[in-house]
Structure 1
Amino acid sequence: MASFVVLARVRHFARAARELNTTQPAVSMRLAALEAELGCTLVRRRGGDFALTPEGERALKTFEGVLHSLDVLKSDLSGQPAAALDVVRIGAIDTVSSTWMPPLVEALHRRSPRLKVELTIESTKNLVEGMERGAYDLIFALDPVIGESYRSFVSCVFEMSWVGSARSVDPERVYTVEDLAAMPIVTFPRGTPPFRMIAPYFQDEQVLASKLTSNNSLFSIINLVIEGFGIGALPTVTVEREIGLGLLTVLRTAKRLAAMPIIATYQATTNTEVVALAVEQARLSAAQYCAAVDAERAWVE
């Protein structure tokens, strides 16, 4: 039950395994056992997509209530009231979760041991919608949330690069826009902020659409590019390991891609002391991360 709640929150089996201090196969086995016990499918998986089924959404609400009741029961039976926890609800896109989000969470726990960080990994669209309905205190996405009760700032900026499988691209060749337009491209779905970033690169979206394979998971896109399904426009810092292992190659191009700003938006009217701490540490963690990597690949404005 607890494993399912963590999995539903982070929306990724490997991240759930890390948080639960176990293995990815163990998380999958726990989910399968729970689904067998309940007699229904809780999670829908297609390629790199992850979504809760309607039954999964109902189960999540019930399990969260049960776990809370268990905490209350333990406190009552011990005769000692549980110390109140401050909670900060943070949402982030994959690009942030794979770079400076872990140091941010660790730093928040060091600074405030009684602070509970509820972290959710989602798309920009879902994060913005979640913030608007009050599901988050702080999000890191590619679009800001507009409104009187929100404040936004650029937390950091990531260099974007065209990358391809080391088996299929020439590292010495300088690729023109026309060369890239003639190649298969793996990217996020039409209408998403990452797609909006690369579409103007080609001027003509029809050219792009004719060669497009779309996926809404950063990690799935990386794997598809490694397997040679096409080239991808990705934040360079998110594929440094794959580049170092010789799995991916950065294409030399005649035209640079626009950089990717990571926009932080936070609630300015609720739980202001906790949110202020999270925002302050987010600025510090982003700056520390950028200072530790190649200055051309990530920076703070």
Structure 2
Amino acid sequence: MRILDMTTFVVLARNRHFGRTAQELNATQPAISTRLTALEQELGCRLVERGDREFKLTPEGEKALNAFQAILGDIGKLRDVLESPDASTPQLVRIGAIDSVAATWMPHLIETLHQTVPNLKIELTVEGTKLLTQGMNKGELDMMFAVDPAVGEGFRSFVSCILQMTWAGSAKIINPDRVYSVDELGSMPIISFPKDTPPYRQIAPYFQDERVLASKLTSTNSLFAIINLLIAGFGIGAIPTVTIQRELKMGLLHPIRVSKRFPPMPIIATYQSTTHQHLIQMVVEHARRSAAGFCATVDPSVAWID
């Protein structure tokens, strides 16, 4: 959701006229209409009544107006802080994310942050949960998105979204039309993250006996590597469905029909709440909206907000 579109809607609601709004914003009336349509499509509802001669906001439009005014007010305050010559707030935010987040809605978050504060520098680290947690504890990150939260003084956490996990494999080694039991999965080569990582902790209980995996497991700390090993037919793996949608569509991978469904994976955001509060809170709010916006664009059975 662009700041320009939100600003246009606030000005339109104040002027109650497309022509005056276009004149104030030095734009054309079709451009104002396009921005309004973009907002309505993104929110999935009408914001302005159509057909009446009198300009009128819908009930959803009234709610959107209040929300946009609050957001733009907070952004204005943040810009004042960042542009102040003696501001103590740094113009750098350090974000850590696991592969599953970096491959889905992280690009939208970064783009939105750059639009909001053009002079803000973003330092993105893509690592596993264990290393990201260590980075938070050492003060090397301001915010992270991982499978586990970082626990410490001044840290706050929330579930940003939940990703459904899917057993997947190449047609070279699985039959897409067959239903596999847990024992049958356990007899096949499995590609997963290393044993001391949170994703592995989900796989081991699925089989109820870690010994099942002892001689069948190939591990790597890279989601990209796991996907390519699956495509090559080296084994099967349980990974977030949203990260392999392209491969599924192209037929490079197939979802494995199973008798026991794999549990979903919450993505937990942890942020530092005691320093640079204006900056970090802005990042938190944009992160919530980016995650929610992404979930709204995909099948609700593969990614959702709790």
Q: Could you state the TM-score of these two structures normalised by the residue count of structure 2? A: 0.70
Task: Tell which deviates more after alignment, 229-238 or 208-217.
Answer: 208-217
Write the mapping of 1:178-193 to structure 2, written as runs, cut at 5 A: 178-193=183-198
- Pick from 151, 161, 177: which aligns with 2:156? 151
- Pick from 277, 282, 286: which aligns with 2:287? 282
- Pick from 105, 125, 129: which aligns with 1:124? 129
Write the mapping of 1:1-301 to structure 2, written as runs, cut at 5 A: 86-301=91-306
Mapped partners of 2:123, 2:113: distance in 1:
12
Does the 8 A contact of 1:92 with 1:122 survive in 2?
Answer: yes
Deviations 1:10-67 (A, max 9, x none): xxxxxxxxxxxxxxxxxxxxxxxxxxxxxxxxxxxxxxxxxxxxxxxxxxxxxxxxxx
Report the counterpart of residue 65 of structure 1 in structure 2.
none
Letter in 2 for 1:194: P
Report the counterpart of residue 12 of structure 1 in structure 2.
none
Does the 8 A contact of 1:142 with 1:263 survive in 2?
Answer: yes
What is the DSSP-based 3-state SS (H/G/I as helix, E as strand, rest coil) of the residue aligned with 1:155?
Answer: strand
Mapped partners of 1:118, 1:143: distance in 2:
21
CA RMSD, Structure 1 to Structure 2 (Å): 1.4
Does the 8 A contact of 2:173 with 2:235 survive in 1?
Answer: no
Q: Which runs of no fewer than 5 residues in structure 2 stay unpaired? A: 1-84
Note the C-alpha offset of 1:85: 6.2
Structure 1 runs of 4+ aligned residues shifted over 6 Å read: none
Letter in 2 for 1:278: V
Mapped partners of 1:169, 1:290: distance in 2:
29
Report which of the two structures shows the higher radius of gyration computed on alpha carbons.
2
Mapped partners of 1:246, 1:203: distance in 2:
31
Q: Could you state the TM-score of these two structures normalised by the residue count of structure 1? A: 0.71
Letter in 1 for 2:208: Q
Does the 8 A contact of 2:167 with 2:238 survive in 1?
Answer: yes
- Count of aligned pairs: 220
Mapped partners of 1:168, 1:206: distance in 2:
22
More strand by share: 1
Mapped partners of 2:173, 2:249: distance in 1:
17
Mapped partners of 2:193, 2:291: distance in 1:
24
Note the C-alpha offset of 1:148: 2.5
Note the C-alpha offset of 1:168: 2.0
Note the C-alpha offset of 1:167: 2.4
Percent identical across equivalent pairs?
A: 59
What is the DSSP-based 3-state SS (H/G/I as helix, E as strand, rest coil) of the residue aligned with 1:209?
Answer: coil
Deviations 1:83-141 (A, max 9, x none): 99611110001110000000000011111112111111111111000000100000001
Mapped partners of 2:99, 2:237: distance in 1:
15
Letter in 2 for 1:232: G
Does the 8 A contact of 2:230 with 2:237 survive in 1?
Answer: yes
